[in-house]
Structure 1
Amino acid sequence: MIGSNFLRAFIRDEEGATLTEFAFVAPILILMVMGIFDMAHTQYTSALVNGAMQKAGRDLTLETAGSLEGTIDARVIDSVSAVVPGTATVTLEKLSHFDFEDIGEAEEFTDAGTFDGICNNGEVFVDANSNGQWDADRGEEGIGGARDAVLYTAVVSYPRLFPMYGLAGLPQEVELRASTVLRNQPYDQQDETVTIGNCD
Protein backbone atom coordinates (compact mmCIF):
# COMPACT_ATOMS: atom_id res chain seq x y z
CA MET A 1 0.00 0.00 0.00
CA ILE A 2 2.81 2.38 0.86
CA GLY A 3 4.53 1.56 -2.43
CA SER A 4 1.49 2.43 -4.60
CA ASN A 5 0.91 5.73 -2.74
CA PHE A 6 4.54 6.68 -3.29
CA LEU A 7 4.29 5.83 -6.99
CA ARG A 8 1.13 7.95 -7.42
CA ALA A 9 2.73 10.86 -5.57
CA PHE A 10 5.86 10.54 -7.71
CA ILE A 11 3.85 10.63 -10.96
CA ARG A 12 1.88 13.72 -9.84
CA ASP A 13 5.02 15.55 -8.65
CA GLU A 14 5.78 18.47 -11.04
CA GLU A 15 8.79 19.87 -9.23
CA GLY A 16 11.70 20.32 -11.67
CA ALA A 17 9.44 20.37 -14.77
CA THR A 18 10.45 23.93 -15.57
CA LEU A 19 14.10 22.99 -15.47
CA THR A 20 13.52 20.07 -17.83
CA GLU A 21 11.53 22.23 -20.27
CA PHE A 22 14.23 24.90 -20.19
CA ALA A 23 16.83 22.25 -21.02
CA PHE A 24 14.90 21.54 -24.25
CA VAL A 25 14.41 25.21 -25.18
CA ALA A 26 17.77 26.67 -24.06
CA PRO A 27 19.98 25.44 -26.94
CA ILE A 28 17.60 26.87 -29.55
CA LEU A 29 17.26 30.14 -27.65
CA ILE A 30 21.04 30.49 -27.24
CA LEU A 31 21.57 29.70 -30.92
CA MET A 32 19.05 32.37 -31.92
CA VAL A 33 20.58 35.02 -29.66
CA MET A 34 24.10 34.27 -30.90
CA GLY A 35 22.86 34.28 -34.49
CA ILE A 36 21.27 37.71 -34.03
CA PHE A 37 24.47 39.12 -32.54
CA ASP A 38 26.54 37.52 -35.31
CA MET A 39 24.33 38.96 -38.08
CA ALA A 40 24.26 42.38 -36.41
CA HIS A 41 28.06 42.46 -36.15
CA THR A 42 28.43 41.38 -39.78
CA GLN A 43 26.01 44.06 -40.99
CA TYR A 44 27.70 46.73 -38.88
CA THR A 45 31.13 45.75 -40.20
CA SER A 46 29.82 45.72 -43.77
CA ALA A 47 28.36 49.22 -43.37
CA LEU A 48 31.61 50.48 -41.83
CA VAL A 49 33.72 49.01 -44.66
CA ASN A 50 31.42 50.55 -47.29
CA GLY A 51 31.65 53.93 -45.59
CA ALA A 52 35.45 53.74 -45.38
CA MET A 53 35.62 52.81 -49.07
CA GLN A 54 33.41 55.74 -50.10
CA LYS A 55 35.64 58.15 -48.17
CA ALA A 56 38.78 56.58 -49.64
CA GLY A 57 37.27 56.77 -53.13
CA ARG A 58 36.72 60.52 -52.77
CA ASP A 59 40.27 61.02 -51.50
CA LEU A 60 41.80 58.97 -54.32
CA THR A 61 40.26 61.15 -57.04
CA LEU A 62 42.51 64.06 -56.08
CA GLU A 63 45.59 64.91 -58.13
CA THR A 64 47.78 64.30 -55.06
CA ALA A 65 46.36 60.77 -54.57
CA GLY A 66 49.55 59.10 -55.79
CA SER A 67 51.59 60.48 -52.90
CA LEU A 68 48.81 59.86 -50.35
CA GLU A 69 47.79 56.38 -51.51
CA GLY A 70 49.50 54.59 -48.61
CA THR A 71 47.90 56.92 -46.05
CA ILE A 72 44.43 56.46 -47.59
CA ASP A 73 44.86 52.66 -47.55
CA ALA A 74 46.01 52.75 -43.92
CA ARG A 75 42.88 54.73 -42.94
CA VAL A 76 40.63 52.08 -44.47
CA ILE A 77 42.50 49.25 -42.70
CA ASP A 78 42.45 51.11 -39.36
CA SER A 79 38.69 51.75 -39.61
CA VAL A 80 37.97 48.08 -40.24
CA SER A 81 40.48 46.76 -37.70
CA ALA A 82 38.69 48.64 -34.92
CA VAL A 83 35.63 46.36 -35.12
CA VAL A 84 36.95 42.96 -36.27
CA PRO A 85 39.05 40.37 -34.41
CA GLY A 86 42.81 40.85 -34.35
CA THR A 87 43.28 37.86 -36.65
CA ALA A 88 41.28 39.52 -39.45
CA THR A 89 42.89 40.17 -42.82
CA VAL A 90 42.09 43.26 -44.89
CA THR A 91 43.15 43.15 -48.53
CA LEU A 92 42.86 46.20 -50.77
CA GLU A 93 42.67 45.80 -54.54
CA LYS A 94 42.90 48.60 -57.10
CA LEU A 95 42.35 48.10 -60.81
CA SER A 96 42.54 51.07 -63.18
CA HIS A 97 40.69 51.10 -66.50
CA PHE A 98 40.65 53.42 -69.49
CA ASP A 99 36.91 53.99 -69.10
CA PHE A 100 34.00 52.95 -66.86
CA GLU A 101 32.70 50.52 -69.49
CA ASP A 102 35.97 48.52 -69.22
CA ILE A 103 35.39 47.65 -65.55
CA GLY A 104 34.82 43.92 -65.10
CA GLU A 105 35.36 43.23 -68.80
CA ALA A 106 37.76 40.54 -70.03
CA GLU A 107 40.53 41.30 -72.49
CA GLU A 108 39.39 40.73 -76.05
CA PHE A 109 40.75 37.75 -77.95
CA THR A 110 40.22 35.99 -81.26
CA ASP A 111 38.57 32.65 -80.55
CA ALA A 112 39.96 30.72 -83.51
CA GLY A 113 40.08 27.01 -84.24
CA THR A 114 38.10 25.25 -81.49
CA PHE A 115 35.71 28.16 -80.74
CA ASP A 116 35.56 27.07 -77.09
CA GLY A 117 35.25 30.57 -75.60
CA ILE A 118 38.62 30.15 -73.85
CA CYS A 119 41.76 32.12 -74.67
CA ASN A 120 44.23 29.29 -75.44
CA ASN A 121 46.27 27.54 -78.14
CA GLY A 122 48.20 30.66 -79.15
CA GLU A 123 45.08 32.70 -79.94
CA VAL A 124 45.69 36.44 -80.34
CA PHE A 125 44.44 38.75 -77.55
CA VAL A 126 44.55 42.46 -76.80
CA ASP A 127 46.76 42.93 -73.73
CA ALA A 128 44.92 45.98 -72.37
CA ASN A 129 46.85 46.05 -69.08
CA SER A 130 50.23 45.19 -70.66
CA ASN A 131 51.08 42.41 -68.21
CA GLY A 132 51.91 39.81 -70.86
CA GLN A 133 48.98 37.47 -70.16
CA TRP A 134 45.26 37.26 -70.89
CA ASP A 135 43.07 38.41 -67.97
CA ALA A 136 39.38 38.00 -67.16
CA ASP A 137 39.49 41.66 -66.01
CA ARG A 138 41.37 44.04 -68.27
CA GLY A 139 42.15 46.45 -65.42
CA GLU A 140 45.74 47.35 -64.60
CA GLU A 141 46.88 47.10 -60.98
CA GLY A 142 47.12 50.42 -59.18
CA ILE A 143 45.24 53.71 -59.35
CA GLY A 144 46.39 54.49 -62.89
CA GLY A 145 46.77 58.00 -64.23
CA ALA A 146 44.74 61.00 -65.33
CA ARG A 147 41.09 60.36 -66.24
CA ASP A 148 41.34 56.61 -65.53
CA ALA A 149 38.36 54.82 -63.95
CA VAL A 150 39.46 52.88 -60.88
CA LEU A 151 37.72 49.96 -59.17
CA TYR A 152 38.83 50.04 -55.52
CA THR A 153 37.86 46.96 -53.49
CA ALA A 154 38.37 45.94 -49.87
CA VAL A 155 38.15 42.26 -48.91
CA VAL A 156 37.78 41.61 -45.16
CA SER A 157 38.07 38.08 -43.78
CA TYR A 158 37.82 37.05 -40.13
CA PRO A 159 36.66 34.11 -37.97
CA ARG A 160 33.13 34.34 -36.59
CA LEU A 161 32.84 35.81 -33.11
CA PHE A 162 30.50 33.09 -31.79
CA PRO A 163 31.37 29.38 -31.71
CA MET A 164 27.96 28.00 -32.73
CA TYR A 165 28.25 28.78 -36.46
CA GLY A 166 28.40 25.03 -37.27
CA LEU A 167 24.99 24.35 -35.71
CA ALA A 168 23.48 27.11 -37.84
CA GLY A 169 25.14 25.82 -41.02
CA LEU A 170 27.34 28.91 -41.41
CA PRO A 171 30.98 28.91 -42.56
CA GLN A 172 33.64 29.55 -39.93
CA GLU A 173 35.09 32.51 -41.85
CA VAL A 174 33.22 35.71 -42.62
CA GLU A 175 34.23 37.36 -45.90
CA LEU A 176 32.99 40.84 -46.72
CA ARG A 177 33.66 42.74 -49.94
CA ALA A 178 33.07 46.43 -50.53
CA SER A 179 33.89 48.31 -53.72
CA THR A 180 33.79 51.84 -54.99
CA VAL A 181 34.38 53.17 -58.48
CA LEU A 182 36.06 56.50 -59.05
CA ARG A 183 37.52 58.55 -61.86
CA ASN A 184 40.85 60.31 -61.53
CA GLN A 185 40.89 64.05 -62.11
CA PRO A 186 41.80 65.23 -65.64
CA TYR A 187 45.12 66.77 -64.56
CA ASP A 188 46.96 65.36 -67.60
CA GLN A 189 46.39 63.57 -70.90
CA GLN A 190 45.07 60.05 -70.49
CA ASP A 191 47.50 57.33 -71.55
CA GLU A 192 46.22 54.20 -73.30
CA THR A 193 48.88 51.69 -74.25
CA VAL A 194 47.59 48.59 -76.00
CA THR A 195 49.76 45.62 -76.93
CA ILE A 196 48.97 42.35 -78.64
CA GLY A 197 49.82 38.93 -77.19
CA ASN A 198 49.22 35.23 -77.73
CA CYS A 199 47.27 33.00 -75.34
CA ASP A 200 48.95 30.01 -73.71
Structure 2
Amino acid sequence: MRRLVRLIDTLRRDQAGATLVEFAIIAPTFMILLMGAFDLGHSVYLRAVLNGAIHEAARDSTLESGEASETTIDNQVETIVQKVAKSADVDFERKSYYDFTDVERAETINESGTANGVCDSGETFEDENGNNTWDSDVGATGFGGPRDIVMYTVTVTYDRLFPLYGLIGMSQENSMSVSTVLKNQPFGQQGDAATPETKPCP
Protein backbone atom coordinates (compact mmCIF):
# COMPACT_ATOMS: atom_id res chain seq x y z
CA MET A 1 0.00 0.00 0.00
CA ARG A 2 2.85 2.32 0.87
CA ARG A 3 4.51 1.56 -2.45
CA LEU A 4 1.29 2.46 -4.25
CA VAL A 5 1.01 5.73 -2.36
CA ARG A 6 4.67 6.57 -3.14
CA LEU A 7 4.10 5.72 -6.83
CA ILE A 8 1.05 7.98 -7.03
CA ASP A 9 2.91 10.76 -5.26
CA THR A 10 5.86 10.39 -7.65
CA LEU A 11 3.58 10.51 -10.69
CA ARG A 12 1.81 13.57 -9.29
CA ARG A 13 5.08 15.47 -8.93
CA ASP A 14 6.59 14.28 -12.23
CA GLN A 15 6.34 17.05 -14.87
CA ALA A 16 8.17 15.26 -17.68
CA GLY A 17 6.12 15.46 -20.90
CA ALA A 18 3.71 18.11 -19.57
CA THR A 19 4.53 20.47 -22.42
CA LEU A 20 3.63 17.81 -24.97
CA VAL A 21 0.24 17.28 -23.36
CA GLU A 22 -0.41 21.03 -23.19
CA PHE A 23 0.53 21.42 -26.85
CA ALA A 24 -1.80 18.57 -27.81
CA ILE A 25 -4.66 20.45 -26.12
CA ILE A 26 -3.84 23.82 -27.68
CA ALA A 27 -2.73 22.67 -31.16
CA PRO A 28 -6.18 22.06 -32.77
CA THR A 29 -7.46 25.51 -31.82
CA PHE A 30 -4.20 27.16 -32.87
CA MET A 31 -4.22 25.39 -36.26
CA ILE A 32 -7.83 26.39 -36.93
CA LEU A 33 -7.01 30.03 -36.12
CA LEU A 34 -3.91 29.88 -38.31
CA MET A 35 -5.80 28.39 -41.28
CA GLY A 36 -8.58 30.96 -40.84
CA ALA A 37 -6.02 33.79 -40.92
CA PHE A 38 -4.38 32.42 -44.08
CA ASP A 39 -7.79 31.98 -45.72
CA LEU A 40 -8.81 35.55 -44.86
CA GLY A 41 -5.52 36.85 -46.23
CA HIS A 42 -6.06 34.90 -49.45
CA SER A 43 -9.57 36.39 -49.86
CA VAL A 44 -8.32 39.94 -49.26
CA TYR A 45 -5.49 39.45 -51.75
CA LEU A 46 -7.85 37.97 -54.35
CA ARG A 47 -10.21 40.94 -54.00
CA ALA A 48 -7.30 43.37 -54.46
CA VAL A 49 -6.13 41.51 -57.58
CA LEU A 50 -9.70 41.42 -58.94
CA ASN A 51 -10.14 45.14 -58.31
CA GLY A 52 -7.02 45.97 -60.28
CA ALA A 53 -7.94 43.62 -63.12
CA ILE A 54 -11.48 44.91 -63.63
CA HIS A 55 -10.45 48.57 -63.56
CA GLU A 56 -8.02 47.96 -66.40
CA ALA A 57 -10.57 45.84 -68.27
CA ALA A 58 -13.31 48.44 -67.79
CA ARG A 59 -11.13 51.14 -69.32
CA ASP A 60 -10.58 48.93 -72.38
CA SER A 61 -14.33 48.32 -72.55
CA THR A 62 -15.09 52.05 -72.80
CA LEU A 63 -13.30 52.32 -76.15
CA GLU A 64 -15.14 52.05 -79.45
CA SER A 65 -13.40 48.70 -80.01
CA GLY A 66 -14.52 47.42 -76.59
CA GLU A 67 -17.53 45.42 -77.72
CA ALA A 68 -15.56 43.67 -80.47
CA SER A 69 -12.86 42.80 -77.92
CA GLU A 70 -15.25 41.51 -75.25
CA THR A 71 -13.88 37.95 -75.20
CA THR A 72 -10.26 39.12 -75.08
CA ILE A 73 -10.95 41.61 -72.28
CA ASP A 74 -12.85 39.09 -70.16
CA ASN A 75 -10.25 36.37 -70.74
CA GLN A 76 -7.52 38.68 -69.45
CA VAL A 77 -9.44 39.20 -66.20
CA GLU A 78 -10.09 35.47 -65.86
CA THR A 79 -6.41 34.65 -66.42
CA ILE A 80 -5.30 37.10 -63.73
CA VAL A 81 -7.87 35.80 -61.22
CA GLN A 82 -6.98 32.15 -61.83
CA LYS A 83 -3.34 32.84 -61.02
CA VAL A 84 -4.53 33.43 -57.44
CA ALA A 85 -7.47 30.97 -57.37
CA LYS A 86 -6.85 28.26 -59.95
CA SER A 87 -10.28 26.62 -59.82
CA ALA A 88 -12.25 29.88 -59.85
CA ASP A 89 -15.35 30.35 -61.98
CA VAL A 90 -15.49 33.91 -63.31
CA ASP A 91 -18.75 35.48 -64.52
CA PHE A 92 -19.12 38.85 -66.23
CA GLU A 93 -21.99 41.31 -66.49
CA ARG A 94 -22.25 44.69 -68.20
CA LYS A 95 -25.14 47.09 -67.85
CA SER A 96 -25.40 50.42 -69.62
CA TYR A 97 -27.18 53.58 -68.47
CA TYR A 98 -27.86 56.98 -70.00
CA ASP A 99 -26.52 58.90 -67.00
CA PHE A 100 -24.66 58.27 -63.73
CA THR A 101 -27.86 59.03 -61.79
CA ASP A 102 -29.53 56.03 -63.49
CA VAL A 103 -27.08 53.45 -62.13
CA GLU A 104 -29.04 50.72 -60.31
CA ARG A 105 -32.13 52.93 -60.25
CA ALA A 106 -35.51 51.19 -60.43
CA GLU A 107 -38.00 51.94 -63.19
CA THR A 108 -40.61 54.48 -62.13
CA ILE A 109 -43.89 53.06 -60.81
CA ASN A 110 -47.08 55.07 -61.10
CA GLU A 111 -48.42 53.97 -57.75
CA SER A 112 -52.15 54.31 -57.17
CA GLY A 113 -52.31 52.93 -53.66
CA THR A 114 -49.71 52.54 -50.94
CA ALA A 115 -46.24 53.70 -52.00
CA ASN A 116 -44.49 50.42 -51.28
CA GLY A 117 -41.95 50.48 -54.13
CA VAL A 118 -43.47 47.33 -55.65
CA CYS A 119 -45.11 47.15 -59.08
CA ASP A 120 -48.48 45.83 -57.91
CA SER A 121 -51.33 44.60 -60.08
CA GLY A 122 -53.49 47.52 -61.21
CA GLU A 123 -50.56 49.98 -61.28
CA THR A 124 -48.41 51.03 -64.23
CA PHE A 125 -44.69 51.60 -64.71
CA GLU A 126 -42.41 53.42 -67.15
CA ASP A 127 -40.66 50.78 -69.27
CA GLU A 128 -37.37 52.65 -69.62
CA ASN A 129 -35.31 49.74 -70.95
CA GLY A 130 -38.04 48.48 -73.28
CA ASN A 131 -38.22 44.86 -72.10
CA ASN A 132 -41.94 44.94 -71.14
CA THR A 133 -41.12 44.02 -67.53
CA TRP A 134 -40.69 46.22 -64.46
CA ASP A 135 -37.07 46.11 -63.31
CA SER A 136 -35.46 47.20 -60.09
CA ASP A 137 -32.51 48.27 -62.26
CA VAL A 138 -33.11 50.32 -65.44
CA GLY A 139 -29.79 49.23 -66.96
CA ALA A 140 -29.74 47.59 -70.37
CA THR A 141 -27.50 44.57 -70.84
CA GLY A 142 -24.38 45.26 -72.89
CA PHE A 143 -21.72 47.86 -73.63
CA GLY A 144 -24.09 50.71 -74.47
CA GLY A 145 -23.13 53.45 -76.91
CA PRO A 146 -20.80 56.45 -76.93
CA ARG A 147 -20.87 58.51 -73.74
CA ASP A 148 -23.15 55.98 -72.03
CA ILE A 149 -22.42 54.89 -68.47
CA VAL A 150 -21.46 51.23 -68.06
CA MET A 151 -21.31 49.20 -64.87
CA TYR A 152 -18.92 46.27 -65.27
CA THR A 153 -19.37 43.54 -62.65
CA VAL A 154 -17.19 40.47 -62.19
CA THR A 155 -18.25 37.63 -59.88
CA VAL A 156 -15.68 35.06 -58.79
CA THR A 157 -16.67 31.73 -57.23
CA TYR A 158 -13.85 29.64 -55.82
CA ASP A 159 -12.96 26.96 -53.26
CA ARG A 160 -11.40 28.19 -50.04
CA LEU A 161 -7.76 27.35 -49.34
CA PHE A 162 -8.35 24.91 -46.48
CA PRO A 163 -11.04 22.24 -45.89
CA LEU A 164 -11.95 24.04 -42.70
CA TYR A 165 -15.45 25.36 -43.24
CA GLY A 166 -17.11 21.97 -43.68
CA LEU A 167 -16.09 21.16 -40.09
CA ILE A 168 -18.16 24.08 -38.78
CA GLY A 169 -21.13 23.62 -41.10
CA MET A 170 -20.24 26.35 -43.61
CA SER A 171 -19.83 26.09 -47.36
CA GLN A 172 -16.36 25.34 -48.68
CA GLU A 173 -17.18 27.54 -51.68
CA ASN A 174 -16.82 31.32 -51.51
CA SER A 175 -18.04 34.02 -53.87
CA MET A 176 -17.17 37.68 -54.30
CA SER A 177 -18.37 40.39 -56.69
CA VAL A 178 -16.59 43.58 -57.65
CA SER A 179 -18.06 46.36 -59.81
CA THR A 180 -16.78 49.52 -61.40
CA VAL A 181 -18.67 52.25 -63.24
CA LEU A 182 -17.15 54.19 -66.12
CA LYS A 183 -18.33 56.43 -68.95
CA ASN A 184 -17.78 55.30 -72.53
CA GLN A 185 -15.40 57.37 -74.61
CA PRO A 186 -16.94 60.04 -76.89
CA PHE A 187 -16.39 58.05 -80.09
CA GLY A 188 -19.72 59.38 -81.36
CA GLN A 189 -22.78 61.31 -80.30
CA GLN A 190 -24.78 59.87 -77.44
CA GLY A 191 -28.27 58.92 -78.48
CA ASP A 192 -31.20 60.75 -76.96
CA ALA A 193 -32.75 59.16 -73.92
CA ALA A 194 -35.70 57.11 -75.11
CA THR A 195 -39.15 58.19 -74.03
CA PRO A 196 -40.43 55.24 -71.98
CA GLU A 197 -43.80 53.65 -72.67
CA THR A 198 -46.24 53.25 -69.83
CA LYS A 199 -46.97 49.56 -69.24
CA PRO A 200 -49.30 47.79 -66.80
CA CYS A 201 -47.75 46.00 -63.87
CA PRO A 202 -48.15 42.21 -63.99
**Structure 1: segments with no counterpart, 5+ residues:** none
Post-superposition offset of 1:117? 2.6
Are 2:76 and 1:75 equivalent residues in the alignment? Answer: yes
8 Å CA contact retained: 1:31, 1:168: no
Task: State the Cα distance separating 1:171 from its structure 2 match.
Answer: 4.5
- TM-superposition CA deviations, 1:26-80 (whole Å, max 9, x none): 0121011101110110011000000001101111111111211221111111111
2:183 is aligned to 183
Aligned counterparts of 1:26 and 1:167: Cα–Cα separation in 2: 16
Q: 1:24 maps to what in 2?
A: 25
Point out where structure 2 has 5 or more consecutive residues left out of the alignment: none
Of stretches 77-86 and 147-156 in structure 1, the one that deviates more from structure 2 is 77-86
TM-score, L = length of structure 2:
0.91
Identity over the aligned pairs, expressed in percent?
44
| Correspondences of 1:4-153 after superposition (within 5 Å) | 4-86=5-87, 88-153=88-153
How many angstroms apart in 1 are the aligned matches of 2:70 and 2:113?
45
Count of aligned pairs between the two proteins: 199
Q: Do the aligned residues in 2 keep the contact of 1:152 with 1:180 (CA within 8 Å)?
A: yes
Q: Which amino acid aligns with 1:22?
A: F
- In structure 2, how many angstroms separate the alpha carbons of the residues matched to 1:46 and 1:60? 20
The answer (yes or no) to whether the contact 1:59–1:65 under 8 Å persists in 2 is: yes
How many angstroms does 1:167 deviate by? Answer: 5.8
1:171 and 1:101 map into 2 onto residues whose CA distance is 37
Q: Is the 8 A contact 2:109 2:117 kept in 1?
A: no
1:96-129 CA distances to partner (integer Å, 9 max, x unpaired)? 0001110010011101135433112142211111
Q: Work out whether residues 164 and 172 of structure 2, in 8 Å CA contact, stay in contact via their aligned partners in 1.
A: no
Computed over aligned residues only, the root mean square deviation of the Cα atoms, in angstroms, reads 1.7
SS at match of 1:163: coil
